[in-house]
Amino acid sequence: MDVLSDVIAVMRTGHPRSALVRHHAPWAREFASAPGSAGLHVVLRGSCVLRPTAAATGRQAVDVGPGDVVFAPRGTAHVLADSPGTAVTAPPCEPGAPPRPAAGADRADGAGPATVLLCGAYRLDPQRTHPLLAALPDLVHLPAAPAGHPEPTAAVRLLAGELERPRLGTDAIVPSLLDALLLYVLRAWYDDAPLRGGRLATGWAAALNDPPVAAGLRAMHRTPAAPWTVERLAREAGLSRAAFARRFTALTGRPPLGYLTWWRMTLAARLLSTSALPLASVAAQVGYTSEFAFAHAFKRWCGMAPGRYRRAHPQDGPHRGRTSPTDGM
């Protein structure tokens, strides 16, 4: 798998949530802090303002127009409103809360122009947080223009159609479309990184746009159990051993084999919590021929033995669940 697909597949857990929500001006909605969750809003019609909560400082309000996406990769608290000055009067929306009964997607706010939002929320395992997501801003604003990203737009159109008119297969289609939307948003953000920053210096945006480092990452993610050495990875990248090690460490913040070990343990944690595979099989899938060596490495990584970790995380695997057109984030 490629790096981005791998990262999302391993981090995701639980059930995604999605909603179509219509607000009439004046309105303001606060979204509570939700560590371990990621939230996403897309403006389908109208416009709004993304602004910090009253407790936050140092952030500026941002205008969000039709087709724009707002992504909170770490569940950072924020406010969406029709204008910068509209006061929040309702309790904060809890991203992990059960669906609230409602007669339809409309919610009584004011009597002014409508803003229609598509909202989604994902549960992410904080212990498996990849630095690729950790490197993102607390709140990502992806404008529909001028960059022009047709893939997120297409996913949004399909997702909105399923939520507006549920039909046979909707319960299976919506989670897949949410996955696609999340991946398209992240791809667009990292693809646009050179345009936003002019010249990339360090970090995962630079790593994913650097051909030698990206080649090394793809190799590790493609076959994590392979007997990788820095020299073998350098050959994949087309660099000398020393040049590759320096470049990889400078951009990702970890030496190549340090990242490989971290990724193997992250994969092992997912296998332990989502499958009944014997420990020997888990060890083999992440590159360990000895179950004892794997158990020692895993305990050093997370502070508990693999068996204990499995008992503490019973079947918290990939999501597939119902969605609701009246669900909020």
- What are the residue ranges spanned by the domains of the chain? 3-197, 210-312
* Helix (H/G/I), strand (E/B), else coil: 115: strand
On the CB side of 262, CA atoms within 13 Å amount to 15
Q: At what angle do helices 291-302 and 256-274 cross, to 10 degrees?
A: 100
* Helix (H/G/I), strand (E/B), else coil: 69: strand
Question: According to the CATH classification, is domain 3-197 in 2.60.120.280?
Answer: yes
**Residue labelled with tokens 């724009």:** 68
The pLDDT profile of the chain, 329 residues, written as one tens digit per residue, is 688 888 888 887 777 888 889 999 999 999 999 888 889 999 999 999 999 887 776 678 899 999 899 999 988 999 999 999 899 888 888 654 433 433 344 454 678 899 999 998 888 877 778 888 877 888 988 888 765 678 888 888 898 999 889 999 998 898 889 888 889 988 888 877 665 554 445 688 889 889 999 999 999 999 999 999 999 999 999 999 999 999 999 999 999 999 999 999 999 999 998 899 999 999 999 999 999 999 999 999 989 999 999 998 876 544 433 333 333 33
Instruction: Report the topology of domain 210-312.
Output: Arc Repressor Mutant, subunit A (1.10.10)
Contact 204, 214 (CB under 8 A): no
Q: Distances from the Cα of 21 to the Cαs of 46, 106, 208, 263, 329, in angstroms?
A: 12, 6, 35, 38, 10
Phi-psi domain of 89 (left: phi exceeds 0; alpha: psi -120 through 50; beta: other): alpha
Residues counted in the chain:
329
* Helix (H/G/I), strand (E/B), else coil: 299: helix
| The residue type at 61 | A
Cis peptide before 26 (omega within 30 of 0): yes
Contact 328, 93 (CB under 8 A): yes
The predicted structure's pLDDT at residue 98: 38
* C-alpha triplet 277, 281, 284: angle, nearest 5°: 150
The predicted structure's pLDDT at residue 19: 86
The rounded distance, in Å, linking the Cα atoms of 202 and 7 is: 19
In the DSSP assignment, the letter for residue 93 is: B
Q: Hey, which residues does 119 pair with through a beta bridge? A: 19, 41
The rounded distance, in Å, linking the Cα atoms of 181 and 24 is: 26
The predicted structure's pLDDT at residue 29: 92
The rounded distance, in Å, linking the Cα atoms of 306 and 303 is: 10
In the DSSP assignment, the letter for residue 94 is: P
Q: How many CB atoms lie within 10 A of CB 134?
A: 11
**Residue labelled with tokens 């936050």:** 56
The token pair at 106 is: 């409309």
Which distant-in-sequence residues (6+ apart) come within 8 Å of 80 by Cβ?
A: 28, 29, 31, 41, 48, 49, 50, 51, 64, 70, 117
The predicted structure's pLDDT at residue 100: 41
The rounded distance, in Å, linking the Cα atoms of 13 and 41 is: 20
Query: Where in 99-204 does DSSP place strands (E)?
Result: 114-124, 140-142
